[in-house]
Amino acid sequence: MNNIDAVLIGIVFAVWAALAFLYATVDMIRMPAAAAIWGSGAVLFLALTVVLIRAGPRGRR
């Protein structure tokens, strides 16, 4: 994959998804409302990654 933007946004998605998972499952943290916020952000970054990947092969015009 030559599209570095998609790779970097994909990494951000993975971090947000991991944090959402931890907030939802770790009892010590006790922040279930934060899991929804981090999960929403993860979905947003996943959608952005998909858009960048699909737009990548077309290139700039």
**DSSP string covering 6-51:** HHHHHHHHHHHHHHHHHHHH-TTT--HHHHHHHHHHHHHHHHHHHH
Whats the size of the chain, residue-wise?
A: 61
**pLDDT at residue 59 greater than cutoff 70:** no
Token representation of residue 61: 């015009």
Contact 20, 39 (CB under 8 A): yes
More confident residue, 38 or 27: 38
Tens of pLDDT, residues 7-26? 899 999 999 999 889 888 88
pLDDT at 47 over 90: yes
Asked whether 38 and 26 are in contact (CB, 8 A), the reply is no
pTM of the model: 0.76
Predicted local confidence at residue 52, as pLDDT = 84
Mean pLDDT (the chain, rounded): 83
